[in-house]
Amino acid sequence: MDSANTKKILEANQIQKILPHRYPMLLVDRILDYQPGEYAIGVKNVSVNENFFQGHFPGNPVMPGALIVEALAQTGAIALLSLPSFKGKTAYFGGIRKVKFRQMVRPGDQLKLEVHLDKLRGNAGLGHANAYIGEKCICSGDLVFAIE
């Protein structure tokens, strides 16, 4: 296999070297592939043990949409913060645009998180994000990042 086709995988401990998030706010379990400044593809394994299921909703557990978007943002932050110029920085939301939810996320689901960066200027970036369960896109939108 040639090096151009080699996937860059990050395990949880490697993700924590790039992102400042920790339990219970670290929402990416693994990065399946990424290219600094271009894209990242991650996975979130949704467990019945997630703390948010205690109140959202008792007897009808549904992952909050805001946390799905946060998981996408953390995936995009991997693509940004893995650039040498942003090492040790934090990526914040600068905006969220055109987000649509198409299906509920429940315990046992595995979210595949894909973020492709469209623009990067100075300390800001814009990316398009999609979350999938299997082959079905369950959430999509545009994320604006501010890096400090």
- The distance in angstroms from the start CA to the end CA of the chain is 37
Is there a catalytic annotation at residue 56? yes
Per-residue confidence (pLDDT) for residue 141, from 0 to 100: 98
For the cut 50, the answer to whether the pLDDT of residue 78 exceeds it is: yes
Which of the four CATH numbers 3.10.129.10, 3.40.50.300, 1.10.15.40, 3.90.1150.10 does domain 8-147 have? 3.10.129.10
Token pair 């993700």 is found at 15
pLDDT at 138 over 70: yes
pLDDT digits (tens, 9 = 90+) for 42-57: 999 999 999 999 999 9
Annotated catalytic residue, options 21, 56, 116, 128? 56
Segment 87-131, tens digit of pLDDT: 999 999 999 999 999 999 999 999 999 999 999 999 999 999 999
> What does 86-121 look like in DSSP terms, one character per residue?
GTT--EEEEEEEEEEE-S---TT-EEEEEEEEEEEE
**CA 123 → CA 30, 52, 74, distances in Å?**
25, 32, 16
CB 115 within 8 A of CB 80: no
Is residue 94 within 8 Å of residue 58, measured between CB atoms? no
Report which residue type is found at 15.
I
